[in-house]
Amino acid sequence: MRWAAIEAISRNRGGTVLQEHFHRIAERRNNRNIGRVAAARKLLHLVFYGLRDGEIRCLAPDHAG
């Protein structure tokens, strides 16, 4: 499962939420591989909660305002 998530992040870059997470971790740790694994883990969290709840809240449009 980890391998598939890392491949998904490596090939698709994951969209803006995951890209920001990847760049923040990679710069802080000075290692792109660690950033890639962290983004893959976040992707798996989003998939889990998306399947459980039927929506991915952090990617939903903000209705405040």
Encode pLDDT of 6-40 as tens digits. 888 887 666 778 888 889 999 999 999 999 999 99
Q: What one-character DSSP code corresponds to residue 62?
A: P
pTM: 0.75
Give the span between the Cα atoms of 56 and 65, in whole angstroms.
20
What are the Cα distances from residue 24, in Å, to 2, 11, 33, 60? 20, 19, 12, 22
Contact status, residue 5 vs residue 41, Cβ threshold 8 Å:
yes
Domain boundaries, the chain: 2-55
> Looking at the predicted structure, is the pLDDT value of residue 65 above 60?
no
Phi then psi for residue 48, to 5 deg, are: -60, -50
User: Using an 8 Å Cβ cutoff, are 44 and 20 in contact?
Assistant: no
